[in-house]
């Protein structure tokens, strides 16, 4: 099933200043939490998420979900696809040591992305009218890269398939191999922006004409928590499992810094939805899918009492109706 998205007017063309951005964090299998929160959001809004936000941004699994939403895939279908495919994506196998040695092969991830996107997997970002961005790191030169859709960047949109963008943003070191597109090689965007909250704000300002004081952000996490435990050294070398832990720690630290800054800059215009478990859930811990759904239910119990949740579900629709009435 795919939503038939309405052809809503770009806010900058309508002369509208108020904007709503959706920002989705990375987190491996913990993206199930994100998808469950979004399912509840679409139910509250009685509409696809893509019709309630002016811009959707995501990193890693958050990037995959962002692409799915922009393609009109219901959040409930994305949730089901993640739950169904996670065990095959993160199937344990023997591995070699090395910081950039992948623990999991790419084909199961590719299959899961296709399960989420369906035929949309072969569409190109340069043809996608919904403003969406996903983050990645260019392993070729160490710079960050934003994959942008037609709806966000127009002629500057990335002419890559949704599948390629999804594989690039989710190529987490130690988990999956880097992803090559043409002569460039990409790894997980979480190394630069695991929570792309302020990137979304910056892009809304630079490309959609947003006024900083009138940008609202709904940021959804992945039930993450800083990695616990002390490193164990063996002969001056870091065992593979500790290198994996370093990657998780990097993602967690980056996300914490980003969300803290976004909260301070945006104030009440920033709503973060997350729920830290008592015991951290690893990026590949498929044994705890039920815990993720439980944490999402607990987070929803809290956030649905916040008026900003309901305002976000209706803000863009109300604004577009008002703009249409004003122009009549």
- Active-site annotation holds for 327: no
Pick from 90, 88, 220, 112: nearest CA to 166: 112
Task: State the catalytic residue, choosing from 54, 158, 164, 188.
Answer: 188
Q: How far apart are CA 38 and CA 155, in angstroms?
A: 30
Q: Are 102 and 171 in contact (CB under 8 A)?
A: no
Q: What are phi and psi of 92, to 5 degrees?
A: -65, 145
CA atoms within 13 A on the CB side of 209: 8
Q: How far apart are CA 196 and CA 262, in angstroms?
A: 10
Q: Are 117 and 67 in contact (CB under 8 A)?
A: yes
Instruction: Report how many helices (DSSP H) and strands (DSSP E) the chain contains, helices first.
Output: 12, 8
| Residue entry with tokens 């940008």 | 215
Q: What are phi and psi of 143, to 5 degrees?
A: -95, 155
What angle (nearest 5°) sits at the alpha carbon of residue 320, between those of residues 314 and 321?
90
Task: State the catalytic residue, choosing from 20, 60, 149, 170.
Answer: 60
- Active-site annotation holds for 188: yes
Q: How far apart are CA 64 and CA 232, in angstroms?
A: 34
Question: Annotated active-site positions, please?
Answer: 60, 188
């Amino acid at each position: 099933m795919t939503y038939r998205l309405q052809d809503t007017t770009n806010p900058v063309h309508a002369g509208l200043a108020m904007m709503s951005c959706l920002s989705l964090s990375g987190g491996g299998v913990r993206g199930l939490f994100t998808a469950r929160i979004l399912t509840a959001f679409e139910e509250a809004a009685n509409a696809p998420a893509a019709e309630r936000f002016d811009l959707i941004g995501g990193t890693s699994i958050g990037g995959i979900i962002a692409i799915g939403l922009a393609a009109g895939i219901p959040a409930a279908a994305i949730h089901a696809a993640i739950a169904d495919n996670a065990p095959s994506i993160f199937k344990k196998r023997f591995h070699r040591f090395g910081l950039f040695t992948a623990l999991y092969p790419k084909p199961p991830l590719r299959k899961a992305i296709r399960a989420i996107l369906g035929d949309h997997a072969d569409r190109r970002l340069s043809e996608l009218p919904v403003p969406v961005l996903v983050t990645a790191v260019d392993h070729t030169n160490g710079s960050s890269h934003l994959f942008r859709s037609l709806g966000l960047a127009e002629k500057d949109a990335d002419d890559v398939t949704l599948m390629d963008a999804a594989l690039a943003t989710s190529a987490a070191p130690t988990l999956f191999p880097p992803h090559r597109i043409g002569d460039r090689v990409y790894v997980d965007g979480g190394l630069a922006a695991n929570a792309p909250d302020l990137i979304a704000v910056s892009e809304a300002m630079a490309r959609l004409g947003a006024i900083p004081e009138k940008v609202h952000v709904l940021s959804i996490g992945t039930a993450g928590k800083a990695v616990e435990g002390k490193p164990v050294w063996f002969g001056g070398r870091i065992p593979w499992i500790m290198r994996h832990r370093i990657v998780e720690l990097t993602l967690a630290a980056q996300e914490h810094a980003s969300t803290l800054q976004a909260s301070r800059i945006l104030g009440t215009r920033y709503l973060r939805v997350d729920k830290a478990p008592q015991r951290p859930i690893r990026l590949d811990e498929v044994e705890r899918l039920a815990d993720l759904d439980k944490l999402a239910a607990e987070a929803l119990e809290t956030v649905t009492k916040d008026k900003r949740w309901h305002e976000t579900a209706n803000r863009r629709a109300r604004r577009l109706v008002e703009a249409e009435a004003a122009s009549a």
